[in-house]
């Protein structure tokens, strides 16, 4: 037999063996493309084993849907936007399909199916791993992506561990994880969105599948990253932009933007599990005011309830809830109450009886209500995937609105039951489509906070709800702020909390917080002081501790810690104009308030280094260096640019690493060059009016900058009708000009004067719209010196910075100040 014939026979045998193995394999791959239909911005593809739809959602977003059977009608709790009309060119031949937009290229290889996303210049951004692509094992589906050399992975929501996810794997299954460890996974929420960074390109990947999902970024393999789920479709959105901030913006365009929060929710919140009785609540409120610790909120945990039954009060501990809340309001405190989803099975309990009447509880297949045990005992659980269930919940919340409650804290909404093993055969309405627990579990919390937000908005005329949640799914930012659950009073947990919030910010959730001081255990004075300092630079600033732990109010750790924490709470209140404007930015483009350095310094490898991964920007201006409460010496990394010490104005050049002696009285914070920071005079709560002067701090730099200053009434939705005050402030380094643009909006500012505070400027002569102004020598000291508690000692010196300042009248028209 000739060699060529032998080769042919061998090839036939190998092909037959491969086909046999494929037929017997428990793994079903997509296989060869067998049909293609193009319809405007959509490409429908059939393969040997799958049905695929590729949708051009925008010039920068490509959606891929895939299943073993014909694709089901489209539905998502997370995605609220539709594809935008996009200029696209789609071509194909026998070997491939090509989809080109103005921003990226998509190539789909036909035999077998394999997809690659590239820049217009042909640089690979992301591609399927050759030979693996997408496959099914029973009902589980997974897509495998080629792991690029030097690739970093960031985001994925509330995930423990380091900033860079590379080398690790994660599971999404919302879980009640009391006192979780610093590497425990999963914990409370699911946001299946991450970003990849390599070779000066970036991309985002949002896997919109509510079943238990798994993400692998090179754990136990050196070949691929992957994402998949235990059921449902392979359904992902690929997002490509040159800037990480734009990827977050596009992701937010899919899943929604947060609304403006009530101003009081940005103030300091005092909490404990639990404050009771009423007398103790008043003692806390009165002590905050007596010791001049600015505060806006007091939160009540489950002990306010009658035997832990939601929508009830313990009448012995709280005989007159409405009267108590009114008295606290007169002291300028807002009250937030905890609510849990479990409704106790108890005849005569009105909430339970009304739930039965409306038939809104999740059920077993035999029609009986699912019963699980939580705080009140055996409970039924509202089906929040049923519009009727959400409406019922909203009607029950009205009781709290009528009593004057300002905030609703959603807890246990993973959902949690004792045993933590709710059965798979619980059925949910799923907007009339009926689904089982494994498909609904990860969105239960999202739909609960949706019900809370919509219900509380309806219950209080033209008042912004404040909703806080422990659990959720992608899109939760539309309804609630999120805190990171039952943490530990440990240094490592404090720093983990920083990373969790930074990761949530990368994942489209701007309004986040942690239990400052630690929930379980008891903080040392140094840990507590450091945690309160970091908390002042968190989006949501809440002090909280658990039952049977020592008191954790600012005065509970001694006089020195009280002075330190008061300094930083004071600073936060002076920074509220800056912070509120930064939240406004988040409502426009999804950019987080607490920003991982990977957003602005994406391709600087130092920001992924474990030594520096906790550093973050607070808004556009502040570079915060979190350290634990015991380390005497810290290593700091300064990215490119010029940086000013917040406390004394000393300049540090960027692209540099330094060591710093760490004291407990100050948290290292620096200000980015060219920053614009509006501040106000000291207030004790957000109902108190500051002076009529807005202090606008400008830090001299070599780069241009723009800051959008924003005000509204802080409580209503009138801003959606144009009732706001907005003014863009720009710094032009080359032209040596600071410009206040023409005012936008019909609202009026609370400030009639502007005092320009110039850091690093030597000019004494300024011009306002061409007219001469004289700058004055000034001095800024942000911190009150900590006392020397030795009676024979001297006071600590005042630390501050000599600057130039000029006072001008605020104008609605544009005005320029040149130097």
Supply the residues annotated as catalytic. 411, 414, 486
Cα separation, 40 vs 710, in Å, equals: 41
CA 311 distance to own-chain centroid: 28
SS (H, E, C) 448-461: HHHHHHHHHHHHCC
- Give me the count of residues in the chain: 819
Q: Which residues contact 703 (CB under 8 A, 6 or more apart)?
A: 641, 673, 674, 733
3-state secondary structure 214-283: EEECCCCCCCEEEEEECCCCEEEEEEEECCHHHHHHHHHHHHCCCCCCCHHHHCCEEEECCCCCHHHHHH
Collect all residues with Cβ–Cβ distance below 8 Å to 548 and sequence separation of at least 6: none
CB atoms under 10 Å from CB of 49, counted, come to: 18
Structure tokens at 46: 């059939």
Question: Count of CB atoms within 10 A of residue 647's CB?
Answer: 18
| CA nearest to 508, candidates 138, 125, 81 | 81
Max CA pair span of the chain = 107
* DSSP conformation class of 798: P
Short-list 629, 447, 632, 600, CA closest to 525: 629
> Residue 382: helix, strand or coil by DSSP?
strand
Q: CA 325, CA 61: separation in Å to the nearest integer?
A: 48
Under 8 Å between Cβ of 78 and 63: no
Give 461's contacts (C-beta < 8 A, 6+ positions apart).
Answer: none
Report how far residue 314's alpha carbon sits from residue 316's, in angstroms, rounded to the nearest whole number: 6
DSSP summary character for residue 760: S
Q: Which two tokens stand for residue 248?
A: 């977050």
CB 10 within 8 A of CB 1: no
Is residue 754 within 8 A of residue 808, CB to CB? The reply is yes
Calpha distance 491→523 (Å, rounded): 9
3-state secondary structure of 41: coil
The answer to whether residues 152 and 244 touch, using CB atoms and an 8 Å cutoff, is no
- Tokens found for residue 647: 């406390």
Q: What value, to the nearest 5°, has the Cα angle with vertex 255 and ends 250 and 259?
A: 100
Residues facing 468 on adjacent strands: 409, 481
- Cβ neighbours of residue 448 closer than 8 Å, sequence gap 6 or more: 341, 382, 384, 393, 410, 413, 415, 469, 471
In whole angstroms, give the CA distance from residue 276 to residue 49: 61
| Euclidean distance between CA atoms 188 and 458, whole angstroms | 28
CA angle, residues 409, 185, 593, in degrees to nearest 5: 50
Q: HSE (CB half, 13 Å, CA atoms) of 733?
A: 13
490: alpha, beta or left? (left if phi > 0; alpha if psi -120 to 50): beta
CA distance 777 to 754: 16
Q: DSSP string of 541-564?
A: -EE---TTS---SGGGG-HHHHHH
Residue pair 204/238 in contact by the 8 Å Cβ criterion: yes
Tokens encoding 745:
């909006």
Tell me which residue of 476, 364, 346 sits closest to 414, measured CA to CA.
Answer: 476
């Amino acid at each position: 037999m000739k060699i060529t014939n032998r080769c042919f026979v061998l090839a036939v045998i190998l092909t037959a063996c491969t086909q046999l193995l494929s037929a017997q394999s428990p793994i079903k791959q997509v296989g060869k493309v067998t049909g293609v239909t193009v319809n405007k911005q959509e490409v429908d593809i059939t393969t040997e084993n799958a049905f695929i739809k590729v949708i051009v959602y925008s010039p920068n977003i490509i959606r891929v849907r895939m299943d073993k059977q014909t694709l089901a009608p489209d539905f998502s709790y997370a995605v609220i936007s539709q594809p935008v009309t996009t200029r696209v060119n789609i071509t194909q031949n026998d070997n491939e399909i090509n989809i080109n937009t103005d921003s990226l290229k998509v190539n789909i290889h036909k035999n077998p199916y394999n997809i690659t996303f590239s820049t217009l210049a042909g640089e690979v951004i992301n591609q399927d791993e050759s030979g693996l692509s997408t496959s099914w094992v029973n009902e589980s589906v997974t897509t495998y992506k080629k792991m690029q050399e030097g690739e970093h992975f960031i985001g994925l929501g509330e995930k423990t561990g380091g900033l860079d996810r590379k080398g690790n794997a994660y599971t999404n299954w919302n879980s009640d994880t009391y006192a979780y460890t610093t590497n425990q996974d999963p914990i409370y929420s699911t946001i299946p969105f991450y970003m990849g960074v390599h070779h000066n390109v970036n991309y985002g990947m949002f896997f919109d599948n509510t079943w238990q999902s798994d993400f692998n970024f090179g754990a136990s393999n050196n070949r691929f990253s992957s994402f998949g789920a235990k059921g449902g479709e392979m359904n992902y959105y690929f997002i490509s932009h040159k800037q990480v901030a734009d990827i977050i913006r596009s992701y937010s365009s899919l899943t929604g933007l947060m609304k403006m929060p009530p101003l009081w929710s940005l103030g300091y919140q005092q909490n404990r599990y639990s404050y009771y009785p009423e007398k103790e609540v008043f003692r806390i409120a009165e002590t905050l005011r007596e010791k001049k610790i600015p505060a806006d909120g007091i939160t009540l945990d489950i002990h306010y309830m009658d035997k832990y039954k939601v929508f009830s009060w313990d009448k012995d501990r709280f005989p007159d809830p409405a009267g108590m809340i009114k008295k606290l309001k007169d002291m300028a405190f807002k009250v937030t109450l905890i609510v849990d989803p479990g409704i106790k099975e108890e005849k005569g309990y009105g909430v339970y009886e009304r739930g039965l009447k409306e038939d809104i509880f999740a059920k077993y297949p035999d029609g009986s209500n699912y019963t699980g045990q939580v705080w009140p005992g055996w409970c039924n659980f509202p089906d929040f995937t049923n519009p009727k269930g959400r409406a019922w919940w909203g009607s029950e919340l009205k009781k709290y609105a009528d009593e004057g409650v300002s905030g609703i804290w959603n807890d246990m909404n993973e959902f949690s039951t004792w045993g933590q093993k709710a059965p798979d055969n619980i059925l949910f309405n799923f907007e009339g489509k009926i689904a089982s627990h494994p498909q609904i579990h990860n969105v239960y919390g999202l739909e609960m906070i949706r019900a809370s937000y919509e219900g509380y908005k309806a219950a209080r005329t033209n008042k912004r709800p404040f909703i806080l949640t422990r659990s959720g799914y992608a899109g939760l930012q539309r309804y609630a702020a999120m805190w990171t659950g039952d943490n530990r009073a440990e240094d490592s947990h404090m720093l983990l909390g920083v990373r969790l919030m930074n990761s949530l910010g990368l994942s489209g959730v701007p309004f986040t917080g942690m239990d400052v001081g630690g929930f379980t255990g008891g903080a040392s004075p140094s840990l507590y002081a450091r945690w309160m300092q970091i908390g002042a630079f968190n989006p949501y600033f809440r002090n909280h501790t658990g039952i049977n732990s020592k008191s954790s109010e600012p005065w509970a750790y001694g006089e020195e810690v009280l002075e330190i924490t008061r300094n930083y709470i004071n600073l936060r209140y002076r920074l509220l104009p800056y912070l509120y404007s930064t939240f406004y930015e988040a409502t426009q483009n999804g950019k987080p308030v607490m920003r991982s350095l990977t957003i602005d310094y994406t391709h600087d490898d130092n920001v992924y280094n474990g030594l520096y991964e906790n550093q973050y920007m607070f808004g556009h201006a502040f570079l915060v260096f979190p350290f634990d409460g015991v380390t005497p010496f810290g290593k700091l990394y300064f990215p490119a640019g010029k940086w000013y010490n917040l406390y004394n104005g000393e300049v540090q050049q960027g692209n540099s690493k330094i060591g710093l002696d760490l004291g407990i009285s100050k948290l290292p914070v620096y200000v980015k060059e060219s920053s614009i920071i509006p501040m106000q005079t000291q207030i004790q709560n957000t109902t108190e009016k500051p002076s009529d002067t807005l202090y606008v701090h400008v830090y001299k730099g070599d780069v241009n900058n723009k800051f959008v200053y924003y005000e509204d009434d802080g409580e209503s939705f009138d801003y959606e009708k144009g009732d706001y005050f907005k003014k863009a402030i720009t710094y032009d380094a080359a032209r040596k000009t600071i410009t206040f643009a023409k005012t936008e909006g019909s609202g009026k500012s609370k400030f009639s004067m502007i005092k320009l505070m110039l850091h690093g400027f030597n000019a004494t002569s300024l011009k306002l719209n061409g007219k001469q102004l004289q700058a004055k020598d000034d001095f800024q000291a942000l911190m009150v010196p900590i006392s020397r508690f030795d009676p024979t000692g001297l006071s600590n010196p005042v630390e501050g910075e000599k600057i130039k300042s000029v006072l001008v009248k605020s104008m609605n028209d544009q005005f320029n100040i040149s130097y």
